[in-house]
Every structure is written in structure tokens, then in C-alpha cells.
Amino acid sequence: MRAGARDAELHGGDAAGKIRALFGRSPLFRSLVIGAWAGLLLLPFKNVRAALLLFMTVAAGLVLLYGARAFGRTEAWKKSAFRALLQRGARSVSPYARSSVLPVLLAVFLVVPLAVKDYYLDVLVMAGIYTLLALGLTIIVGFTGLLNLGFAAFYAVGAYAYALLNTKAGIGFWPSLPLAASAASLAGLLLAIPALRLRGDYLAIVTLGFGEILHLVLNNWDSLTNGPNGIAGIAPPSLAGFSLGALRPYYYLVLVFVILAGISVVRVKNSRIGRGWIAIRENEIAAASLGIDATKYKLLAFAAGTFWAGIAGALFAAKMRFVSPESFTFTESGLILSMVILGGLGNPYGAAAGAFLLVILPEVLRDLQLYRMLILGIGLVLLMVFRPQGLLGGRGGK
């Protein structure tokens, strides 16, 4: 008897039980309660009108959602020709069509500059640079499962390395490029050597802290980095006497690097090293018991991933001819990470697709510019809840 009374106390009295039953049974009631809750949460931050509007939108949206779900369960829908058509449509992409996607894409990217306006080409160049970053981060987060929240720091190292080498020492783009990439790689190793002793989420925080410290240093070391004013007058690259500074040649330069990075990342994924990384992601202890030197492989992942960030940084500095700490904040790291996750963790094609989506979408939805990060935040949560493997499949890290 006593235990029963205790049970009732712990699980709420009769009234609470009734409410819960009602809540579980009636979708309409549920929608109204959730809508009212959302409105209540918004109330202090905005006004009564906005709160009421949110209440109605959420409640109506949920009612529609429940309605659609109920409709999906009905016999009529299951037998309908439309549903069969939808399913057949989804399955009809043949392997031949799939294997021709890459050559077609490449051809499109080769001829695009002849057809589009400079503005769109500029966006595409940025998408290319972000693709490099996303591919680099794919190695670290996607293959090896090491969450890196300060990736923009390595991007910054590459950009500042080229900026300083060029403006202070007068070294050209091509000799600087390997130096910038190695500088980023070295920074990655310097961070990774101590940090890899830590478990996953601690590592994330340490990389975050590293990004923040680097940002502070760039902002405050006036004699070297010129502080928040940044470094201007960086020379564009040139090849055999030709300047590649104009938009079209520069586009092809970035395209070449994206192709190089793409090939190397896809190839390395299926190599001995790539499989080692994936084994570590799936279960580090099991991987170690199979003779994989986890520390060595993780260091390698950091070095390889940050290498591409360094290249991307140098390309960015040469494109803008100007760098400042503004461009390398936590938001940037978050954006790159979102690209990798959006496309599908561990899938290089997904990372590239994510980079293109997240660079091009905000340009297309100019009016929604303000809401960009808000939508990105909601998107990340929804993606994790409903499709953790990302848009293009691939298997998530464990």
C-alpha cells in the first residue's frame, strides 16, 4: 500500500494522469498546448501580437502535420496510384544515371563562366573555397569522428600566412601556397598532439578554445597582424607571367584545387589510412586492438584536414587581397561544420554539396539574409533529430 502511494506521488496525482491521457489521445489538444507554449515563450521577447501569431502558426502547422500523418495511414492512400508513382520515381534513378553525375557536373562547371554574370561567378568561387574547407573538415570530423569546432582558425592560419609572406617578405603566391598549407598543418598538429589525449567532447571544446585564442591574438597583435584593421594589398596569383587576379581565371584556379582536393579525399577514404580513420570513428578501442595506431592516425587526420584549410585560406586571401580577423570567427567554424553535417558525415560528395548549398542558398534568399543563422540553427536540430546521416546518406560517426 505504502509503495503504491509513493508510486502515485512520484508519477503525479490523478489530475496530472488525466491531462496526460488527454494529451496523448487528442492531437488537436496537443497542437493547441504546444502552440500556446511556443507563444508563451515568445511573449516577453516580442509582443502579444507576435505571440498570438506564433501560437496560431504552430497549432495550425501541427494540426496539418497530424492530419497528414493520419491520412498517410489510411487504406485509400496506401492503394492510390499517386503513392505508387512517388515510390517508383524515387527508385528509378539507375546506376548509369548516377555514375554520369560527376562528368556532367564537371562539364557544367567548366562552361559556367562563359555564361553567367560576374556576381554569380563570385559566389561560385566562394562556394569552391568553402568546398575545400568542408573537404578538409570531412577528414577530421567525418572520417575520424573528431569534432573540431575551431576549424576557421586553420583557415585563418593559411590566409594570414600568405598575407604576411606576400606583404612583408614579398614572396609570390606559388611558393607561399605550400608554406601556408604547411603552416596550417603545423598548427593542426601542435593543437592535436596535446589535445588528442582527450575524449571526444573535451576535444571539441579545446578546438573551440584554440579558435577563440587565435582570433584574440589576430585582433591584438598589432605589430604583426595590424589588429582588427587587417592586412591589405595582398598580390593575386600569377602563372607564367599571366595574372590570375581577374574573376574568370581565378574561378578556374579554384576549380582545379577543388578537383584536386576532391580526388585526394575520395581516394584516401578508400585507402588503408582512410579505413583506419573510419575504424577509429566507429570504435577506437576495437580499432586499436586490431593494430591501428590510433594516435598516429588521428594526428594524420588533423594534419591532412588542416592542410586543405591552409590552401583554402591562401586562396581566400589572394581572392580578397585583404584579410582581417572578422572573417575567421566561431560563426565561420560553425558554418563549415554545418556544411559537413548537412551533406552527410563522412561523405566527401555530401560535404561538397553542403558547401554549395550553404553558400548559394543565402545568396538566392537575399530577403532572408537576417534569418539565415536562425534557420541554420533550426535546421541543424531538425537534421539531427530526423536525418542524422545527412542529406546524402553516408554513415554518421559513433
Partner 1 sequence: MLFQQLINGLTLGGVYAIVALGYTMVYGILELINFAHGEIYMLGAYLGIIFLGIFTAIGLTEANLPLALFLTVLLAVFFCAAYGFTMEKVAYKPLRNAPRLSPLISAIGVSLFLQNYVMLTQGATDKVFPSRFGESRITIMNGEITFLQILIIAVSALIMLSLHLFRKTRWGKAMRAATQDKTMAALVGINVDGVISLTFCIGAALAAVAGVMVAAYYGLVNHFIGYVAGIKAFTAAVLGGIGSIPGAMLGGILLGLAESTGAAYLSSEYKDAYAFVILLIILLIKPSGILGRRSEEKV
Q: Which is nearer to partner 1, 7 or 75 (CB)?
A: 7
For 221, the enclosing helix (H) or strand (E) is none
Per-residue buried b or exposed e for 117-152, using 16+ beta carbons within 10 Å of the residue's own CB: eeeebbbbbbbbbbbbbbbbbbbbbbbbbbbbbbbb
Amino acid identity, position 381: V
Helical spans, DSSP H, in 46-150: 48-73, 75-79, 81-91, 95-99, 101-115, 118-137
Work out whether the CA dihedral 62, 66, 71, 73 comes out positive or negative.
Answer: positive
Q: Which is nearer to partner 1, 32 or 380 (CB)?
A: 380
Q: Which is nearer to partner 1, 260 or 384 (CB)?
A: 384
Whole-number minimum distance, CB 327 to partner 1, in Å? 17
- Cα separation, 213 vs 143, whole angstroms: 26
**Burial degree of 340 (CB within 10 A; 0-12, 13-18, 19+):** buried
Concatenating the DSSP letter of every residue in 280-292 gives: HHH-HHHHHHTT-
Whole-number minimum distance, CB 36 to partner 1, in Å? 12
Q: Which is nearer to partner 1, 7 or 367 (CB)?
A: 7
Whole-number minimum distance, CB 346 to partner 1, in Å? 11
Whole-number minimum distance, CB 54 to partner 1, in Å? 11
Whole-number minimum distance, CB 345 to partner 1, in Å? 7
Q: Which is nearer to partner 1, 9 or 75 (CB)?
A: 9
**Burial degree of 101 (CB within 10 A; 0-12, 13-18, 19+):** exposed
Q: Which is nearer to partner 1, 174 or 202 (CB)?
A: 202
- Cα separation, 211 vs 206, whole angstroms: 9
Whole-number minimum distance, CB 216 to partner 1, in Å? 5
Q: From residue 319, how far is each of 77, 228, 237, 247, 363 by CA, in Å?
A: 54, 19, 9, 9, 19
Task: Say which residue the cell 608554406 belongs to.
Answer: 179
Q: Which is nearer to partner 1, 171 or 373 (CB)?
A: 373
Q: Which is nearer to partner 1, 12 or 67 (CB)?
A: 12
Whole-number minimum distance, CB 28 to partner 1, in Å? 20
Whole-number minimum distance, CB 21 to partner 1, in Å? 17
Whole-number minimum distance, CB 293 to partner 1, in Å? 18
- Cα separation, 352 vs 110, whole angstroms: 17
Q: Which residues have a Cβ under 8 Å from the Cβ of 73 and sit 6 or more positions away?
A: none
Q: Which is nearer to partner 1, 242 or 371 (CB)?
A: 371
Q: Which residues bind partner 1 (CB under 8 A)?
A: 6-7, 10-11, 37, 40-42, 44-46, 50, 141, 145, 147, 149, 194-195, 197-202, 204-206, 208-210, 212-213, 216-217, 220, 283, 285-286, 330, 334, 337, 341, 345, 370-371, 373-374, 376-381, 383-385, 388, 396-398
